[in-house]
């Protein structure tokens, strides 16, 4: 699979090679915590403990990465877990972040109550107004510009390309957190042009009812984002 394949082809096939042992065409769910090793460090297929990596999650991550044309995707049990891991990976105490003025409540509380104690400061901006964001960027350089589109709750729309340009000119990482819309129409491919970290919500739009939360930040061009895998566990 390459990202030149269409979205539909990648969604069905990427990360879903038939099971090498049984030939099962859909990846089985591996309900196991620990994997046998052939001696110290002798991992079979790279797996040792399911929290760190497991074949079921790998299949999902490979599919998401292919859909985004990204080198790697990370899947989490919830969107907030994805946000927390991403921020602890790309930010350090003393860094600054721009947050939408109608950010999802859980996201705002993460910044205001959790990361504030960690030394991460934030300013609230009307994220749909790129000129206002640019003004704020001129006063203080953030490590991250956080965006949602459409926003939750007010359904504000963000011009991702314009925001990415503004953020990158300021040396900041743009995170696009996605909850309501399919990222299908928000593609930032090819990755080299719109470098950023989209997060895909697997709750509201993947499942018929919003009852299966999960989120996936997709570290793209920033090497700094790669340690996210070990931050997750």
Whole-angstrom distance, CA of residue 35 vs CA of residue 148: 38
Whole-angstrom distance, CA of residue 149 vs CA of residue 36: 43
Shortest distance, position 155 Cβ to ligand PLP, whole Å: 11
Shortest distance, position 49 Cβ to ligand PLP, whole Å: 23
Whole-angstrom distance, CA of residue 85 vs CA of residue 97: 15
Give Cα 1 to chain centroid, integer Å. 21
Which residue in 12, 27, 65 sits closest to 183, CA to CA? 65
Shortest distance, position 223 Cβ to ligand PLP, whole Å: 25
Q: 10 or 148: whose CB is closer to ligand PLP?
A: 148
List interacting residues with ligand PLP (CB under 6 A): 78-80, 104, 106-107, 148, 152, 177, 179, 203, 213, 215
Q: 79 or 219: whose CB is closer to ligand PLP?
A: 79
Find out whether 206 and 63 touch, Cβ atoms under 8 Å. no
Shortest distance, position 207 Cβ to ligand PLP, whole Å: 11
Measured from each CB, the residue nearest to ligand PLP is 79
């Amino acid at each position: 699979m390459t990202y030149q394949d269409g979205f539909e082809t990648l969604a069905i096939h990427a990360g879903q090679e038939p099971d090498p042992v049984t030939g099962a065409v859909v990846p089985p769910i591996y309900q196991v915590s620990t994997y046998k090793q052939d001696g110290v460090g002798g991992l079979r297929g790279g797996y040792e403990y399911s929290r760190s990596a497991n074949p079921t999650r790998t299949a999902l991550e490979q599919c998401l990465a292919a859909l985004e044309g990204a080198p790697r995707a990370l899947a989490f049990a919830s969107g907030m877990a994805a946000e927390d891991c991403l921020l602890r990976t790309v930010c350090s105490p003393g860094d600054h972040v721009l947050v939408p003025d109608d950010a999802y409540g859980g996201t705002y509380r993460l910044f205001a109550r959790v990361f504030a104690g960690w030394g991460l400061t934030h300013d609230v901006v009307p994220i749909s107004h790129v000129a206002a964001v640019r003004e704020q960027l001129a006063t203080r350089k953030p490590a991250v510009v956080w965006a949602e589109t459409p926003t939750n709750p007010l359904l504000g729309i963000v011009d991702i390309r314009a925001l990415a340009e503004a953020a990158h000119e300021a040396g900041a990482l743009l995170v696009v957190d996605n909850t309501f819309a399919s990222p299908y129409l928000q593609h930032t491919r090819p990755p080299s042009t719109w470098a950023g970290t989209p997060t895909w919500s697997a709750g509201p739009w993947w499942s018929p009812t919003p009852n299966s939360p999960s989120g996936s930040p997709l570290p793209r061009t920033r090497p700094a984002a790669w340690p996210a895998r070990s931050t997750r566990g």
